[in-house]
Amino acid sequence: MEIKAKFWIESKGEVILGGGKAALLLAVDRLGSIQRAAEEFGMSYRHAWGVIKKIEKRAGFKILDIKLGGRHGGTQLTPRGKALVEATDGFFRNLQTIVEKRFRQKTRNYF
């Protein structure tokens, strides 16, 4: 038996970043492409681009640095975007570990 929890960051009642969005942005950074990251997540480019634009609008700053130009182009997280995504992703993982540990402590006599 497992316990799962979802965490996200909001501003003015709107979600800026959660685990799925952070994973998408990390994939864009790793792959250098919104298209390839979208394919990895089983979503369309259009949907991924819409998600990213909402994140940027709600965060109030650019998350991605997009360079056009074929072989020399590519998409990466901006330094500020990378700091936000990596800190958030790490924090979410730490919270999940705490939730799992507490669940095991509280339920060890039942399962």
Section 41-47 average pLDDT: 97
Q: pTM above 0.75?
A: yes
pLDDT 10s digits, 51-71: 999 999 999 999 999 988 667
- Domains of the chain in sequence order: 9-107 (1.10.10.10)
For 58, residues 6+ apart whose C-beta sits below 8 A from its C-beta are 11, 14, 15, 16
> In the chain, what are the helix, strand and coil shares in percent, each to the nearest 5?
60, 15, 25
pLDDT confidence tier of residue 110, bands split at 50, 70 and 90: confident
